[in-house]
């Protein structure tokens, strides 16, 4: 069901925790399945130098959180804003259609953290940050609408918070 890469990022997630003195904090959740993601970023001279996450949710939620933090480290804000949920899913070797909402949440958490960064540092905000709009990429089968899954998933939830979770 899950790719080897998804299982690696679920079993041994990268960048778990919170960036101290974060420049941006993004929190998103899916009320249907209960996944909650928090992503924190550190930005120096327009480059994301650190990204960390805390996620309560299924294996796919933890894996997409881990992957998105890996993908944005070292990127400029402009480059990070181009990251799509589809790119996160592809970097993980794909996700089951019913779990694509997790990649949408990862994209939303990143954009939320960048929005928070811009609110704290308005001088850094471009005139027209089009990429900050909510992700419009949901699976063609309609299983999510801006990150809200239409049918509850049947698998258990885990936690990646730097401590042992349920």
Let me know if residue 15 belongs to a domain. Answer: yes
Report yes or no: 106 and 60 within 8 Å, Cβ to Cβ: no
Closest listed residue to residue 31, CA positions, set 161, 132, 151: 151
State how many domains the chain has. 1
Q: 80 lies in which domain range? A: 4-160
Q: Which residue among 58, 102, 138, 144 is the active-site one?
A: 102
Total Cβ atoms within 10 A of residue 46? 12
**Whether residue 102 lies in the annotated active site:** yes
pTM (two decimals):
0.79
Let me know if residue 109 belongs to a domain. Answer: yes
Q: Which residue among 33, 58, 138, 144 is the active-site one?
A: 33
Let me know if residue 165 belongs to a domain. Answer: no
Task: Provide Rg for the chain, Cα atoms.
Answer: 15
Let me know if residue 166 belongs to a domain. Answer: no
Let me know if residue 125 belongs to a domain. Answer: yes
Which CATH number characterizes residue 125's domain?
A: 3.90.1010.10
pLDDT for residue 129: 57
- Average pLDDT across each block of 10 residues of the chain; the chain has 166 residues. List them in order: 95 98 96 92 97 96 98 97 96 96 96 96 78 49 36 43 40
């Amino acid at each position: 069901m899950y790719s080897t890469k998804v299982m690696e990022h679920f079993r041994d997630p990268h960048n778990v925790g919170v960036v101290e003195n974060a420049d941006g904090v993004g929190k998103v959740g899916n009320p249907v399945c209960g996944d909650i993601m928090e992503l924190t970023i550190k930005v120096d001279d327009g480059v994301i130098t650190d990204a960390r996450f805390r996620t309560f949710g299924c294996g796919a939620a933890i894996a997409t959180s881990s992957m998105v933090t890996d993908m944005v480290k070292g990127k400029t804000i402009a480059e990070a804003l181009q990251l799509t949920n589809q790119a996160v899913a592809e970097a993980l070797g794909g996700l089951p259609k019913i779990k694509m909402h997790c990649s949408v949440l990862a994209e939303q958490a990143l954009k939320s953290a960048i929005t928070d960064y811009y609110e704290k540092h308005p001088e850094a905000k471009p005139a027209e940050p089009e990429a900050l709009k909510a992700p419009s990429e949901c699976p063609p089968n309609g299983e999510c609408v801006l990150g809200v899954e239409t049918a509850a998933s049947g698998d258990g939830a885990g936690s990646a918070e730097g401590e042992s979770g349920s």
